[in-house]
Amino acid sequence: MCCQSPEPPAREDSESKGTHKRNLSNGASELSPARRSKRQKATVSLKEQSDSEAEESETEITVAPKKEEKENKPTSKTPQKKSPIKKEAKEDPKPKKARKTKKDQEAEATPLAPRTKGLRMFVGAHVSAAKGVFNSIHNSEQIGGNAFALFLKSQRKWDNPALQDEHRDQFHKLCAEKGYDASKHVLPHGSYLVNLAQSDKAKSKQAYASFLDDLRRCEALGIKLYNFHPGSTNQTPLPEALARLAEMLTQAITETKTVIPVLETMCGHGNTIGGALSEFRDLLALIPTEHHSRIGICIDTCHSFAAGYDLSSPEGFKAFLTEFDELIGIKFLRALHLNDSKAPRGSKRDLHANIGTGFLGLRAFHNVMNEPRFEDLPMVLETPIDRVPVKDEEGSDSESAKPKKGKKPAAATVADPGVWAREIKLLESLIGMDPEGEEFKTLEKKLSEEGRGERERLQDQHERKVEAEEKKKAKGPGKAKGQKSLMDMMKGDGKKD
């Protein structure tokens, strides 16, 4: 997921959030990566059985929780002292969703792609767990995922109902039935609200309670790995923030038995912790070694690239892993998030792109898929799958395609998990593929071409930002890290990616 720090987000945060909507649907049957741009017609739609029921989890996934919402939104159980800042109205409205057609509903019974058996690389995606954690298993199966991520509860609310025993039992049953090893290949993603590095006592307590609750849910579900964001310094000195994070983690580990909190590498934007690998080394130094077997790191390819690491060239990729091993230790590597990057290397922008279409390019993922040290780790796609549906052929049931009063129909999007189904197969096909051969070169070129326009747009934004920063430097001492510059605030163009 995005490097969405619990601090006031820059415009790019809202931009990136749109890339992270995820859900499950059906309809796309063309799975050849070479034809991935030829999208299927509007038989593709949402997984959720009814908009109203799935509303909540769908919204969680879709919309960027802004700080004002996150930290000031009052809840029934945890009243805030300050009156909430009513910013919701000003925020981007919830992305409009298209309704599924009858065809969509029928197609739901049919997997988009069969899972590839016998691989040592376990690729999947962050799927919907709407209406119960056990639904994630079906959703992963549908796209041919051999690993998957999910939210264990709403990632936008502090108060959530407890995990139901029935849901827990169903999760265990389906994992066994479908052959998912929950202790290895299921990687829940933590709440966006939680910042364990938080300096505010009350907020810290709240964050810890939510974090611990998630860890306990993992243990109830037989899940060993739990991915979360290292958090934000909130403009306090980094060593102090790391000390707070280390203390929280140590406490959480002592209060649980088996689950391994896995810290995600971040893009290094603003006050976000976890851009530089050295920050994980410094964090680990603050956690008693007896607990080290219960701490993990998840490499997010988009984030680490945006933070400045070269993962594209085989040499750069090798150097990155060497640095990881030297600073942290490869044994701490427990998972990967596989995302291409719309923004250039070092841009510190968290904008996920589809595999092979971004600045990382297909070569980076060839590196990943052929790295023996990644075998048996969960590899999770968080790539964009939203698109505007094409009007249903029969015109029936396809309300999404019909203009509504005062609304532009073009704004309605559907999540098309067929994209993930194709990306999983694409990634798996890279195992053992000759990167100098014609097959790879053709694929690489085609995907690169698909993303060219977007890369040019983001490259241009990046250059303007760098230029503005240099001008500012020339004028006088720059602002402290984390303070938003005018350029920071202006660089987002408001367009959703």
Residue 5: other Cβ atoms inside 10 A = 29
User: According to the binding rule CB under 5 A, does residue 31 interact with Zn ion?
Assistant: no
Q: How far is the CB of 445 from Zn ion (least distance, A)?
A: 26
- DSSP codes joined into one string, 241-279: HHHHHHHHHHHHHHT-SS-EEEEEP----TTBS-SSHHH
Using the minimum distance from each CB to Zn ion, give the nearer residue, 242 or 338: 338
x/- track of binding to Zn ion for residues 1-30 (CB under 5 A): xx----------------------------
Q: How far is the CB of 300 from Zn ion (least distance, A)?
A: 6
From 36, 115, 189, 334, active-site residue: 189
Using the minimum distance from each CB to Zn ion, give the nearer residue, 264 or 386: 264
The answer to whether the beta carbons of residues 458 and 351 sit under 8 Å apart is yes
Q: Is 229 a catalytic residue?
A: yes
To the nearest 10°, the Cα dihedral for 133, 168, 339, 124? -100
Q: How far is the CB of 86 from Zn ion (least distance, A)?
A: 28
Encoded amino acid at 330, one letter:
I
Q: Write a three-state SS string for 370-400.
A: CCHHHCCCEEEECCCCEECCCCCCCCCCCHH
How far apart are the C-alpha atoms of 249 and 207, rounded to whole Å?
A: 12
Q: Is 189 a catalytic residue?
A: yes
CA separation (Å) from 318 to 132, 313, 462?
A: 40, 8, 26
From 180, 192, 208, 309, active-site residue: 192
From 214, 300, 340, 497, active-site residue: 300
Using the minimum distance from each CB to Zn ion, give the nearer residue, 66 or 103: 66
Q: Is 126 a catalytic residue?
A: no
Q: Which stretch binds Zn ion (CB under 5 A): 144-152, 262-270, 325-333, 418-426?
A: 262-270
From 20, 36, 99, 303, active-site residue: 303
Q: Is 141 a catalytic residue?
A: no
Q: How far is the CB of 311 from Zn ion (least distance, A)?
A: 14
Q: Which stretch binds Zn ion (CB under 5 A): 50-58, 149-157, 259-267, 466-474?
A: 259-267
Q: Is 291 a catalytic residue?
A: no
How far apart are the C-alpha atoms of 312 and 194, rounded to whole Å?
A: 31
Q: How far is the CB of 190 from Zn ion (least distance, A)?
A: 8
From 99, 115, 126, 156, active-site residue: 156
Q: Is 264 a catalytic residue?
A: yes
Using the minimum distance from each CB to Zn ion, give the nearer residue, 115 or 462: 462
Q: Which stretch binds Zn ion (CB under 5 A): 81-89, 264-272, 321-329, 462-470?
A: 264-272
Q: Is 12 a catalytic residue?
A: no
> Of residues 341-380, which lie at the interface with Zn ion (CB under 5 A)?
350
Q: How far is the CB of 444 from Zn ion (least distance, A)?
A: 23
Number of residues this chain uses to bind Zn ion (CB under 5 A): 4
How far apart are the C-alpha atoms of 484 and 478, rounded to whole Å?
A: 11
Using the minimum distance from each CB to Zn ion, give the nearer residue, 2 or 242: 2
How far apart are the C-alpha atoms of 308 and 383, rounded to whole Å?
A: 20
Rounded to 10 deg, the angle between the 277-284 and 314-327 helix axes is 20
Can you say how many angstroms the Cα of residue 437 is from the centroid of all Cα atoms in its chain? Answer: 32
Which tokens go with 463?
């250059």
H or E, element range at 1: none
Using the minimum distance from each CB to Zn ion, give the nearer residue, 265 or 400: 265
H or E, element range at 401: none
Cross-strand partners of 125: 148, 381
How far apart are the C-alpha atoms of 461 and 77, rounded to whole Å?
A: 43
Q: Is 167 a catalytic residue?
A: no
Q: How far is the CB of 497 from Zn ion (least distance, A)?
A: 11
x/- track of binding to Zn ion for residues 377-416 (CB under 5 A): ----------------------------------------
From 350, 392, 423, 428, active-site residue: 350
How far apart are the C-alpha atoms of 92 and 264, rounded to whole Å?
A: 27
Q: Is 310 a catalytic residue?
A: no
Which tokens go with 20?
């992270």
How far apart are the C-alpha atoms of 229 and 235, rounded to whole Å?
A: 17
Q: Is 104 a catalytic residue?
A: no
Q: Is 138 a catalytic residue?
A: no
Which tokens go with 456?
């040019």
Q: How far is the CB of 262 from Zn ion (least distance, A)?
A: 10
Binding site for Zn ion (CB under 5 A): 1-2, 264, 350
Q: Which residues are catalytic?
A: 156, 189, 192, 229, 264, 300, 303, 337, 350, 352, 382
